[in-house]
Structure 1
């Protein structure tokens, strides 16, 4: 009898036992075949969401268990209802997780740059702090995200002006001090500011300086005095580190521009615009500027528009695909480039396309000069433009209207003739022939307009072309061997002297 029971127990025990290899194969078989593999960063985010969902689901269950344990023991139907609610909440969480996976796969970011955050990921990962964000930070974030404010210097200036408004309207809560609470209050503003675009190097340096100045405010100082002192220090910082630095750089770089010089530049830079205006208006020099530009931002249009109204400057606007032609046909003397940042290893981190321009000029033995303020210097070391960069919207590259259409000039000419004929006729005849005019215009437009289907091939590329990835990288990295010198407020230095300036500045502060 005991042997039988042992056999029965052994048979029952052998049912759930499985080989580990078969267990893994069955586990792999249960996973859906169409699901894409997630990166380590995405897996960590999913685990965080699962933990947060479990905590949110366990909170009401724990509170109900502590208050009504006796009643639930006497009412089994109530426990069944609670179990159904927990199951429904878990299924709802799973649906949210699946929808989150689908949204991430629709971003279509190549795995090589999967570690870079898109704007959707920045918004989803940011905390819900809209109730404590200052209105000036709201408007600044909107302008930065829509590229109304572009450029490292312009963004830094606008951020400091917004911080002045935040400090003016700040009120210290009870049982705290300004030195401790204002830093955390500014941190919330900065976190929301990051949702528009990542902070530039100059913005990060300015934020670190401001927090350091807040930390050294005496504890016994009144709030009004402390706020007025901080605002005055911000104004002094803007004057010394940005405005005065630009003046020194323009005076130093103007020595390289002479009468009848031919200068090549790329995109738009605030300090270069001040340099060209200073040479023309203050020093009365006449020279030519070749502006190279590229999509999707077309920043060079802003520079060409502002310099074309000056008599002493002759502007030439070209796209980057005609760079080799410009270098072949025109005798360029110098190439001036702006900077987003100068890294510690002497590399230039600037608008995408700057490395191509510098390399082409180096090939033609044209000196490349970089104008950069010391506030843009960074102690980071970077060897490529993939490790650290910013991703723009891919649709900005695709949705570009064509510059010209076939038959457009003929269409405008015919409509102009019809308008001239109608102006010579009496008003009564115009009213009688109004319907006929509309029909004629529609017929002419149908016959003259070309089908723009070719221009909208990539209109729905995210859904119709699953294997196509369009990457909009905003910055690139220029090696130091392509750069002859970097002009700063400390003078003209080689790219290898960037760590020296960083060390001297840190020791002085």
Structure 2
């Protein structure tokens, strides 16, 4: 939790693998491959829901055995470092592009509700503001870790009018909202979106109020395993983030970090490749990931 935000997590994973590849104490290709495999597992296990992390590792390492075949240590190092730098650059450019594409859907005078902290959602909002559009933002605090405070800090720093509300006040304020813009940690093949806990309630409230809900996410947030029917693992964090369990002995405290928003509550998904309806998630996933006859995704 030192690094928060799916895109930042993915880029940090790429930087971590780059550090492993550049370790001068590694003296053979075999040792490097083993170290990369170990680092990849450690990284992926830290945040199981954020598929951007796994996709980042997949992009950087690829097929390690094939990569090392007939190659010397220097060549393998260079390839891993090059891939890591390529991923980081593509990720940063994707966020910028999402802001440009998404801002077209923001109108002058809009009030936007956002939840938690999303670099991509903020890119859309900041770009619209930079274009001279008169907008204001209603941001939730995102209990229990209060990532919403990061969001309001960035908005205030950019002189964008913002109001902070508690998560449970979303329905009360929805009557003032023109559009909901949030990020995503994972997007399934059926268009369902996994994001910070509370997102599904906001999307449902917006749907009920006929307020458009936009998801801002890079294409590497789409989850390849859902092509073959696997479910996205929902990370459940320590109960101590919610309350000190010792204060209430015998009481079970649950702390899921994410929830799933059904595709029918989402109007558009904004990616660096353009805007798609949630129903088009399957096609986008097929374009990005090859599916073998054994159901293994590369």
With the length of structure 1 as denominator, give the TM-score of the two structures: 0.53
Out of 166, 172, 184, the position equivalent to 1:319 is 166
3-state SS of the aligned residue for 2:191?
coil
Give the equivalent residue in structure 2 for 1:396. Answer: 241
The 2-side partners of 1:303 and 1:213 are apart by 37
Structure 1 residue 157: Cα displacement: 1.0
Distance in 2, Cα, partners of 1:387 & 1:243? 25
Name the structure 2 match of 1:296. Answer: 144
Equivalent residue for 1:249, pick from 64, 89, 98? 98
Q: Are 1:212 and 2:212 matched, yes or no?
A: no
Tell me, yes or no, if the aligned pair for 1:289 and 1:315 is still in contact at 8 Å.
Answer: yes
**Partner residue, 2:22:** 168
Where do 1:96-111 residues align within 5 Å?
none
Is 1:232 paired with 2:232? no
The structure-2 alpha-carbon separation of the partners of 1:489 and 1:310, relative to structure 1 and needing over 3 Å to count, comes to: closer
Q: 2-side partners of 1:245 and 1:193: how far apart?
A: 22
Q: Is the CA contact (8 Å cut-off) linking 1:379 and 1:499 kept in structure 2?
A: no
Unaligned runs of 5+ in 2: 292-297
CA displacement, residues 13-57 of structure 1 (integer Å, 9 cap, x when unaligned): xxxxxxxxxxxxxxxxxxxxxxxxxxxxxxxxxxxxxxxxxxxxx
Partner Cα distance (2:59, 2:24) in 1: 19
Q: Which residue of 1 aligns with 2:9?
A: 155
- How far 1:172 moved relative to its partner? 5.0
Q: Which residue of 2 aligns with 1:187?
A: 37
What pairs with 1:286-365 in structure 2 (closer than 5 Å)?
286-311=134-159, 313-328=160-175, 330=176, 332-365=177-210
For residues 96-136 of structure 1, give each alpha carbon's deviation from its aligned partner in whole angstroms, at most 9, with x where no partner exists.
xxxxxxxxxxxxxxxxxxxxxxxxxxxxxxxxxxxxxxxxx
Q: Is the 8 A contact 2:49 2:235 kept in 1?
A: no
SS of the equivalent of 2:67 reads coil
Compare the two structures and name the one with the higher strand fraction.
2
1:268 aligned residue: 117
- Give 1 or 2: higher helix fraction: 1
Corresponding residue for 1:482?
A: 265
CA distance in 1 between partners of 2:232 and 2:18 (Å): 34
* Per-residue Cα deviation, 1:45-104 (whole angstroms, up to 9, x for no partner): xxxxxxxxxxxxxxxxxxxxxxxxxxxxxxxxxxxxxxxxxxxxxxxxxxxxxxxxxxxx
Secondary structure in structure 1 of the residue aligned to 2:157: coil
Q: Distance in 2 between matches of 1:505 and 1:191?
A: 22
1:224–1:388 distance in 2 versus 1, CA, 3 Å: closer
- Report the 3-state secondary structure (helix = DSSP H, G, I; strand = E; otherwise coil) of the residue aligned with 1:308: helix
Q: 2:247 aligns with which of 460, 474, 484?
A: 460
Superposed, 1:345-494 pairs within 5 Å as 345-381=190-226, 388-399=233-244, 459-461=246-248, 465-466=249-250, 468-494=251-277
Distance 1:481 1:149 in 2: 31
CA contact (8 A) 1:183 1:211 kept: no
SS in 1 for 2:168: helix
Counterparts of 1:119-130 in structure 2, within 5 Å, are none
State the Cα RMSD in Å. 2.4
- Given the alignment, which residue of 289, 295, 298 partners 1:506? 289
Considering Cα pairs closer than 8 Å and 6+ residues apart, tell me whether 1 or 2 has the greater RCO: 2
Equivalent pairs counted in the alignment come to 289
Q: CA 1:268–1:218 in structure 2 vs 1: closer, same or farther (change >3 Å)? A: closer
**Runs (5+) with no aligned partner, structure 1:** 1-146, 400-457
